[in-house]
Amino acid sequence: MTTRTVHLAVYDTYADWETGHTTAHLTQNGFTVRTVGPTTDPVTTMGGVRIQPDLALGDLRPEDSALLILTGAQLWDTGDDLAPFAAKAREFLDAGVPVAAICGATAGLAREGLLDDREHTSAVSFYLDATGYKGGEHYRDTDAVTDGDLITAGPTEPVAFAREVFARLGVYEGEKLDAWYRLFHDSDASAFEVLNS
């Protein structure tokens, strides 16, 4: 990995709670998180937070990134406004740069054909079936899935999503990765000692 910059897609109705663990712990472990919007005009998250994107999607290049994170948003299910983000995910995957998609972003990837031949998960299988995609046989009913450079997770699994990102980028490994997950997913206080050893 030549860069330690991670790009977080932001757009109107972005589900801001889905990536808090991921971005906070990436930043605490030497990564820089830069936001990418449709343009550099401010966007408003589902939680009502206004974000000024660092750069526009058209200026994002896979070679400048360690990972592209796509979050859920109501816009994934109401039209094609976010289709350019799914197309950018294809560009990243074609270049061998990882993509992590959670919640509604998985439907965007399904519409783009990126889940047709990769193991993946989402909210529920029939949510993706409604996109008309051809990857149903690769759907896994689990918290989060990593298949090569693609990470997917359902909307209720931001901690499992973060775990997969950390594993893919080498932020935490082995016993520490397990301890991080137990601490933040299971509230297992004994994991704190392992994580900080």
Tokens describing residue 86: 């799914």
- Between strands 67-70 and 55-56, the pairing is unpaired
DSSP 86-115: HHHHHHHHHTT--EEEETTHHHHHHHTTTT
Distance of CA 152 to the CA centre of its chain: 7
Of 36, 122, 34, the residue nearest 77 (C-alpha): 122
**CA-to-CA dists, residue 12 to 9, 36, 52, 75, 103, angstroms:** 10, 12, 11, 7, 15
Point out the catalytic residue in the list 103, 128, 151, 165. Answer: 103
Whether 103 is catalytic is: yes
Question: For residues 169 and 1, what is the distance between their CA atoms, to the nearest angstrom?
Answer: 9
**Size of the chain in residues:** 197
Could you give the C-alpha distances from 161 to 49, 76, 167, in angstroms and in order?
22, 19, 10
List residues with catalytic annotation.
103
